[in-house]
């Protein structure tokens, strides 16, 4: 257990609440990942929320001592409308899991379920931290020299300058506390590199970040420079962030499929493949987006991470790593501090 952070949840254990029923491959892959992770981390606790019989059916044996099943009778499916589903399914795994966080019975929630439902349940059950106008969903993006944080990738529509300004603060704390970047470089993702160039929200956020002075605000970053790691946190409106994140996935997959096709082509390709196998491994490792684990939802009263709906056990295990790290880093506490002028907000689960 890393005790080097300023404040830890608890030196002994992090209690991770896992939505066992959420995701394209739930509960099978979620349960498998959880059991494997729990065995590898015997001092941590996992609370597996879902339909007990279905969890037990896929567990294939006795639970490790540090895994507890918390019953929930309903499931929000991936194709449901979040608003309707949450209203109708009060005993769904995501709602019960969120309640565990609210009641201080868990330190962090990890879900591979419907991201819209996860965000809505978090806002509904936990609420926003005082001073935070809107929560934001962040993600780690790949560069050759390490990850940067992209925020917002989909928690809000039509963000204002003030929203972007708040996202910058929350993203900075996440980069500092979880990625371990001292004094993270914060940039607004925009249309030109000249500071202030962009739409009204970007211009307003620029003004606010300049006036504030608490962050290491470096101005704008353009799309072409994102992969050069010129910023540790790139702040943008949700449509920009979501399109960028998914375009990364689509374009990288496309380019690698072209190479794969060429390496499968004829004797030349197959021979080159054998020669390049170590190189291909290096490039694959760099672009292993499963290691990015999960997207933290910043700005709510509790730590919630949402991982890919299509995540399988390997990615979910990384999401559990990310969850434990985020819980230890106590991001909500630090956000509360930053947004409430250093006045500590009481947190039941931390006392």
Cβ atoms of 94 and 118 closer than 8 Å = yes
The Cα–Cα gap between 129 and 116 comes to: 19
Q: Any contact of residue 84 with its own copies (CB under 8 A)?
A: no
- Residue 11 near its own copies by CB under 8 A: no
CB of 257 to its own copies, least distance (A): 9
Residue selected from 3, 6, 279, 343 as contacting its own copies according to rule CB under 8 A = 279
Report residue 101 CA to chain centroid gap.
16
Minimum distance of its own copies from residue 160's CB (angstroms):
12
Per CB under 8 A, 189 contacts its own copies: yes
Number of residues that bind its own copies (CB under 8 A): 56
Binding flag, residue 145, its own copies (CB under 8 A) = no
Out of 85, 209, 226, 235, the residue judged to bind its own copies by CB under 8 A: 226
Minimum CB separation from its own copies for residue 79, in Å?
Answer: 10
Is residue 282 close enough to count as binding its own copies by CB under 8 A? yes
Which residue, 5 or 256, has its beta carbon nearer to its own copies? 256
Closest CA to 88 of 77, 97, 98: 77
- Kind of pairing, strands 303-306 and 295-298? antiparallel
Asked if residue 244 binds its own copies (CB under 8 A), the reply is yes
- The minimum distance between CB 262 and its own copies, in angstroms, equals 4
Q: Give the Cβ contact number of residue 20 at 10 Å.
A: 32
Is 305:292 a contact under the CB 8 Å cutoff?
A: no
- Max CA pair span of the chain: 68
Contacts with its own copies in 206-225 (CB under 8 A)?
222-225
Closer CB to its own copies, residue 181 or residue 240? 240
What Rg do the C-alpha atoms of the chain give, in angstroms? Answer: 21
Segment contacting its own copies by CB under 8 A, of 102-110, 179-187, 276-284, 304-312? 276-284
Q: Is residue 83 a contact point for its own copies (CB under 8 A)?
A: no
Based on CB atoms, which residue is closest to its own copies, 72 or 155? 155
Which span sits near its own copies by CB under 8 A: 100-108, 193-201, 294-302, 310-318?
193-201
For 227, other C-beta atoms within 10 Å of its C-beta total 14
Give me the sheet containing 295-298, strands edge to edge.
67-71, 45-50, 15-19, 108-111, 303-306, 295-298, 136-141, 148-151, 233-235, 185-189, 216-221
Please select the residue that binds its own copies; options are 236, 303, 316, 338, rule is CB under 8 A: 236
Q: Is residue 157 a contact point for its own copies (CB under 8 A)?
A: yes
Binding site for its own copies (CB under 8 A): 143-144, 154, 157-158, 189-192, 198-200, 202, 222-228, 236-240, 242-256, 258-259, 262-263, 265, 268-269, 271-272, 275-276, 278-279, 282-283, 286
């Amino acid at each position: 257990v890393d005790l080097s952070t300023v404040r830890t949840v608890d030196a002994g254990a992090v209690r991770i609440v896992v939505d066992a029923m959420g995701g394209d491959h739930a509960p099978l892959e979620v349960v498998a990942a959880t059991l494997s992770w729990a065995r590898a981390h015997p001092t941590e606790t996992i609370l597996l929320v879902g339909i007990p019989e279905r969890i037990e059916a896929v567990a294939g044996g006795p639970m490790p001592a540090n895994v507890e099943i918390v019953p929930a009778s309903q499931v929000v499916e991936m194709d449901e409308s979040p608003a309707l589903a949450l209203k109708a399914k009060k005993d769904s795994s995501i709602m019960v899991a969120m309640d565990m966080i609210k009641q201080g019975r868990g330190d962090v929630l990890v879900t591979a379920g419907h991201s819209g439902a996860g965000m809505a349940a978090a806002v509904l059950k936990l609420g926003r931290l005082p001073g935070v106008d809107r929560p934001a969903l962040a993600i780690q993006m790949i560069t050759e020299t390490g990850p940067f944080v992209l925020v917002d990738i989909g928690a809000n529509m039509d963000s204002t300058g003030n929203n972007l300004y708040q996202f910058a603060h929350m993203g900075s704390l996440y980069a500092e506390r979880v990625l371990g970047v001292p004094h993270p470089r914060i940039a607004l993702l925009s249309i030109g590199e000249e500071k202030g160039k962009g739409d009204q929200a970007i211009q307003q956020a620029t003004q606010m970040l300049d006036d504030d002075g608490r962050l290491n605000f470096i101005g704008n970053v353009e799309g072409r420079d994102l992969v050069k790691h010129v910023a540790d946190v790139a702040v943008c409106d949700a449509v920009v962030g979501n399109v960028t994140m998914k375009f990364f996935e689509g374009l990288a997959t496309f380019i690698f499929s072209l190479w794969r096709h060429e390496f499968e082509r004829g004797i030349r390709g197959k021979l080159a493949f054998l020669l390049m196998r170590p190189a291909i491994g290096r490039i694959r490792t760099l672009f292993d987006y499963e290691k990015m684990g999960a997207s933290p939802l910043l700005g709510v009263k509790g730590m919630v991470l949402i991982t890919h709906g299509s995540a399988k056990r390997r990615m979910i295990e990384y999401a559990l790593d990310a969850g434990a790290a985020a819980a230890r880093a106590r991001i909500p506490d630090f956000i509360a501090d930053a947004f409430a002028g250093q006045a500590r907000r009481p947190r039941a689960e931390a006392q």
